[in-house]
Structure 1
Amino acid sequence: MADHHTYGTSTHTAGELVRLVSDRLGLVFTERDSDYRGVYHLADTPNGRIEIQPNPIPGDDEEDDLYAPEHPVAQVLLLTTTPTPDPALRTRLDSIEGLTHLDHETA
């Protein structure tokens, strides 16, 4: 079982959010480049992983597509994956001004 959460912001850039989350959680993010997702940032946590990426991603037709089209207002997304629910992580992320919890899924 995995617990997935999606957060979004239009207040912070991806770089600003990486810095805020790094400071708040003591994590180190690495920048990744994907043909599908564009540039995103990944941090492994003791209990899962956190990814930060722009919602608009480069499309094949020179137009940007949305990674999460169901959340078009969010310019930057933060995605968490943990094996079980992690209320402490949720509390710490919820305390970041301008970051909004958008979705939760258990798989």
Structure 2
Amino acid sequence: MTDHHTYGTSTHSAKALARLITDRLGLLLTERESDYRGVYYRAGGADSRIEVQPNALPGDDGEDDLYAPEHPAIRVLLLTTTPTPDAALQARLGSIEGLVHLNHEPW
């Protein structure tokens, strides 16, 4: 089973949120760039990961597409994937001002 959570913010930029995650969790999120996702930040290994990315993704037609179209007002997303539910992680992320829990999907 895999546990996936989506958070969002319109308060922080992706870079600022990555810095907050580093400070709160002690994880180093590395900057990456993708033609599909744009600039995003990632930490983790094979079983778990944390990613910070813009909600607006570069589209093929020159227009941005939304990663989470059901949340158009959200500028930045935080995606977590863990092998099992991690209440401590969720509590620490919940303490970040301006970060809202949007979705939970157990896989």
- Under a length normalisation based on structure 1, what TM-score does the superposition of the two structures give? 0.95
Q: Distance in 2 between matches of 1:62 and 1:106?
A: 34
Q: Distance in 2 between matches of 1:49 and 1:106?
A: 15
**What secondary structure is seen at the aligned counterpart in 2 of 1:43?**
strand
Consecutive aligned runs of 4 or more in structure 1 exceeding 2 Å deviation: none
Q: Which ranges of structure 1 fall in alignment gaps of 5 or more residues?
A: none
Q: Distance in 1 between matches of 2:48 and 2:62?
A: 34
Displacement after TM superposition at 1:2 (Å): 0.4
**What secondary structure is seen at the aligned counterpart in 1 of 2:70?**
coil
Q: Distance in 2 between matches of 1:33 and 1:14?
A: 13
**What secondary structure is seen at the aligned counterpart in 2 of 1:80?**
strand
What residue is the counterpart of 1:30 in the other structure? 30
What residue is the counterpart of 2:104 in the other structure? 104
Report 1:1-107 matches (<5 A). 1-44=1-44, 48-107=48-107
Displacement after TM superposition at 1:73 (Å): 1.2
Q: Distance in 2 between matches of 1:70 and 1:105?
A: 15
**Aligned residues: CA RMSD:** 1.4
> In the comparison of the two structures, how many residue pairs are matched?
107
Displacement after TM superposition at 1:39 (Å): 1.3
Q: Distance in 2 between matches of 1:89 and 1:80?
A: 9
Q: Which ranges of structure 2 fall in alignment gaps of 5 or more residues?
A: none
Structure 2 counterpart of 1:96, which letter? I
Counting aligned pairs with the same residue, the percent is: 71
- Under a length normalisation based on structure 2, what TM-score does the superposition of the two structures give? 0.95
Q: Distance in 2 between matches of 1:6 and 1:70?
A: 12
Q: Distance in 2 between matches of 1:28 and 1:95?
A: 18
Q: Distance in 1 between matches of 2:37 and 2:19?
A: 20
